[in-house]
Each structure stands twice: as structure tokens, then as C-alpha cells.
């Protein structure tokens, strides 16, 4: 596998080393965030590979992350996701089995599970309390080695998205994009451009030197994929936010743009897996797993 891998080094005390690993099929960025002193690490938003044509799953990307962890002599202490992704399958459960580390996501994933149980007409299938070891609430804190991590509820893209603030690094998932690409869509079930605006304003209230790490990039204009920019860079040049844009103007642009976007090609497969921490639907009496795809609902 020839993923793009870049390291953003620690700037000192309470500043993590960060590796970004770009998954090309879905334009997703997976992260390893580590304490340089203790070599303890967390894995964030790691991809389970999926071919929507054949419905075949694999763990090539997750295994590449594990190899990178071993190469850098790190110890995985957390498996983290920012939200139940719509455009890729998560590898949370697999990584938990491989590393022994607990997996976690935001507590409002339970509300997303209720919403999608109705879409799939599968009451009782999703139980995030069982499939994740921790469901973080707004304002909770935990440690990666000696690094303090804050959990921020960051709704807008989904109603239950969270950001992880680790010293001078912020993992903000599908809120901001790279500055030349603006912000993320807010039209999925439970999403809201109003909430996204408020979330983005909170993120941009972090210190100007904070490194913002985003969840996706699509190589706008043919450039190399990029996923790191500072708060100051976003304030200066983010195409949806720079200048004196008002909340109303932002929401108008965001909503008009979202109305033109198709659903991600993996979305209806992904949610029924990601709401189970990356596990396929339960095997049926023939031992095989089957996806359930609602027709004419979107």
C-alpha cells in the first residue's frame, strides 16, 4: 500500500507528535497522535477498507497504521473516532482486538444510532454502549501519556461529532476542510449548518498557532492532499470563513452547496457498520454477513 504519510512533530511540552496517513479511496486522513515522552499514542478515525462494487471489506489501512506504530516504538492506549462516518467504514473494533486498547466515540452516537435504526428499520440492532468502551460527553478529559486531551462536542456535520484537543493539536474531523476547500457538508440526517457555524467558531477561538487536523481532503485543483493548517491560516484564508462573513451568509453558501452534493457511495453501507464500532451486521444462519440498504429513502 502506498499511502501518503506525513509527520507533524511536537513543538514542546504538551505538544504531541502527529502522523497523518492519507487513505486515497475515500480521501480520508487517519491519525496517530503520540506523547513524545512516554511514547503512548491514540489512533483517530482509522479506515476499514471497503469496495462498494463487491461489498468486500479488508483491513489494509488499519494494518498499515499498526506497522507505523510499531516502527516508531509507540504503545496504543486509545482507539478514537470522531463520529459515525458516512463515507468510510471504521476499523475501531478490529484495532481494539489487535492492540487491546479501549475504543471510544462521543456519547451522542446513541442519538445517531436511534435515528439510523429507523432508516434501516432495524430496531435494537445498534447499541453503542456495548460496542464502544467509552462514550465521551462534552468537556470530558483523558490522557495520552502525559498529554491532556479535551473532548468537545462539535455538531453540524452530524449531531454527535466530537473534536479531540491535544495541546496545540486539534482533531476536528468533518468540520473544517483545508483552507482552500472551506468547511464540510452539514446535510446528513441530524446535521445542521447552524450548528456547524457555531462549532467552527469555537474551533477558531483556539490559539492561533493551534494545528488543525481535518478529516478529509480531495486534492483540490490537482494539488497534493493536505490536512494540516493553523487556526491563523484558517482565519486568514479559509474560503468559507475569512473576512467578515456573517453566520447567515455562511449558512446560505453552505446550504446551497450541500443541495448539489450526492450521497457518498459508501454511506448506506457505512452507517450500519460504524454504529457497531466497525463490525459487520450479525452473521445470518448461513454464516455470512449481509448489508441492508433502504430503497428510495434518500
The neighbouring-strand residues paired with 57 are 50
Write down the domain spans for the chain.
4-272
Q: What sign for the dihedral angle of Cα 147, 152, 158, 160?
A: positive
**How far apart are the C-alpha atoms of 151 and 171, rounded to whole Å?**
10
Q: 61: part of which helix (H) or strand (E)? A: helix 60-71
218 grid coordinates: 480531495
Distance of CA 249 to the CA centre of its chain: 26
CATH topology of domain 4-272: Metallo-beta-lactamase; Chain A (3.60.15)
**How far apart are the C-alpha atoms of 285 and 46, rounded to whole Å?**
30
Which strands make up the sheet holding 141-144, listed edge to edge? 141-144, 147-153, 162-166, 169-173, 211-214, 228-230
Nearest to 135 by CA among 99, 158, 109: 109
**How far apart are the C-alpha atoms of 206 and 188, rounded to whole Å?**
27
Task: Give the count of beta carbons closer than 10 Å to the beta carbon of residue 277.
Answer: 27
Q: What sign for the dihedral angle of Cα 39, 134, 99, 95?
A: negative
Q: Scanning the structure block, which residue is given the C-alpha cell 468533518?
A: 174
User: Are 167 and 34 contacting, i.e. CB atoms less than 8 angstroms apart?
Assistant: no
**How far apart are the C-alpha atoms of 75 and 265, rounded to whole Å?**
34
Which pairing describes strands 162-166 and 147-153: parallel, antiparallel, or unpaired?
antiparallel
Nearest to 104 by CA among 84, 122, 88, 123: 84
Q: Scanning the structure block, which residue is given the C-alpha cell 479535551?
A: 150
Q: What is the pLDDT of residue 2?
A: 65
Degrees to nearest 5, angle at CA 109 with 213 and 219: 30
Q: What is the pLDDT of residue 209?
A: 98
**How far apart are the C-alpha atoms of 162 and 106, rounded to whole Å?**
6
List the pLDDT tens digit at each of the 298 positions of the chain. Answer: 468 999 999 999 999 999 999 999 999 999 999 999 999 999 999 999 999 999 999 999 999 999 999 999 999 999 999 999 999 999 999 999 999 999 999 999 999 999 999 999 999 889 999 999 999 999 999 999 999 999 999 999 999 999 999 999 999 999 999 999 999 999 999 999 999 999 999 999 999 999 999 999 999 999 999 999 999 999 999 999 988 899 999 999 999 999 999 999 999 999 999 999 999 999 999 999 999 999 998 8
Amino acid at each position: 500500500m502506498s499511502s501518503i504519510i506525513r509527520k507533524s512533530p511536537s513543538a514542546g511540552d504538551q505538544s504531541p507528535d502527529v502522523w497523518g496517513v492519507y487513505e486515497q479511496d475515500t480521501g480520508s486522513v487517519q491519525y496517530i497522535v503520540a506523547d513524545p515522552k512516554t511514547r503512548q499514542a491514540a489512533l483517530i478515525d482509522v479506515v476499514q477498507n471497503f469496495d462498494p462494487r463487491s461489498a468486500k471489506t479488508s483491513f489494509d489501512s488499519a494494518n498499515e497504521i499498526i506497522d507505523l506504530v510499531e516502527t516508531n516504538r509507540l504503545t496504543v492506549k486509545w482507539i478514537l473516532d470522531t463520529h459515525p462516518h458516512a463515507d468510510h467504514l471504521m476499523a475501531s473494533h478490529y484495532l481494539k482486538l489487535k492492540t487491546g486498547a479501549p475504543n471510544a466515540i462521543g456519547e451522542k452516537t446513541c442519538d445517531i444510532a436511534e435515528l439510523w435504526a429507523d432508516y434501516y428499520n432495524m430496531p435494537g440492532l445498534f447499541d453503542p454502549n456495548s460496542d464502544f468502551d467509552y462514550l465521551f460527553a462534552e468537556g470530558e478529559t483523558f490522557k495520552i501519556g502525559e498529554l491532556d486531551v479535551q473532548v468537545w462536542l462539535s455538531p453540524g456535520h452530524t449531531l454527535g461529532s466530537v473534536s479531540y484537543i491535544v495541546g496545540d493539536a486539534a482533531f476536528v474531523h468533518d468540520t473544517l476542510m483545508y483552507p482552500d476547500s472551506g468547511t464540510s457538508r452539514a446535510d446528513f440526517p441530524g446535521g445542521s449548518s447552524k450548528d456547524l457555524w457555531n462549532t467552527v467558531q469555537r474551533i477558531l477561538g483556539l490559539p492561533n498557532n493551534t494545528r488543525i487536523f481535518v478529516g478529509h481532503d480531495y486534492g483540490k485543483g490537482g494539488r497534493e492532499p493536505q490536512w494540516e493548517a493553523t487556526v491563523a491560516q484558517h482565519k486568514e484564508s479559509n474560503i468559507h470563513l475569512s473576512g467578515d462573513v456573517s453566520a447567515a451568509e455562511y449558512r446560505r453558501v453552505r446550504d446551497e452547496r450541500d443541495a448539489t452534493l450526492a450521497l457518498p457511495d459508501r454511506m448506506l453501507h457505512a452507517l450500519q457498520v460504524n454504529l457497531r464500532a466497525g463490525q459487520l451486521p450479525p452473521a445470518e444462519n448461513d454464516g455470512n454477513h449481509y448489508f441492508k440498504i433502504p430503497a428510495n429513502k434518500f
